[in-house]
Amino acid sequence: MRTNAKLLWALSIFYAVMAAAYIAWTWVDTGQPEPVGSVAFVLMIAFSMFIAFYLDIEDKPFRQKRLPEDRQEAEIHEADSELGFFAPHSMWPFVTAAGIGFVFASIAFGWWPAFFLAPIALIGVLGWSYEFYRGNYGH
């Protein structure tokens, strides 16, 4: 967590420098700072600082043990070996991706095709979520 907090603090500083450059550039170019981009930069700074502050608070030694990636003397076997279970022969990621792709591509023609194609994406998400709750794997 310490490494992530340091990265986010560095990102906050980078965003602050870029925000100052962006505001100065738009001010010189148009005579006033551009409001949408300026607010977006300020929000990026605020949100990355918020997450970095949270990670700093959670990193206190009395809160939890240090993660292996935060210690110099850590061994590879100390990290979590299991990252999750991934279905080897599942069709649902393809169905979900195709449904979402069709929905976004249909917006080029208008909003009405999206209403007819959205159920494909919904069926894909539901099938992917519940693929191990039926058949041989049902509880």
| Model confidence pLDDT, tens digit, residues 84-129 | 677 778 899 999 999 999 999 998 888 888 999 999 999 999 998 8
Q: What pTM was computed for the model?
A: 0.50
Domain boundaries, the chain: 2-74, 92-137
| Model confidence pLDDT, tens digit, residues 62-71 | 555 666 777 7
pLDDT on residue 27 = 94
13-21 long-range contacts, CB within 8 A, separation 24+: 15/41, 15/44, 15/45, 15/48, 16/45, 19/44, 19/45
Percent of the chain with pLDDT over 70: 85
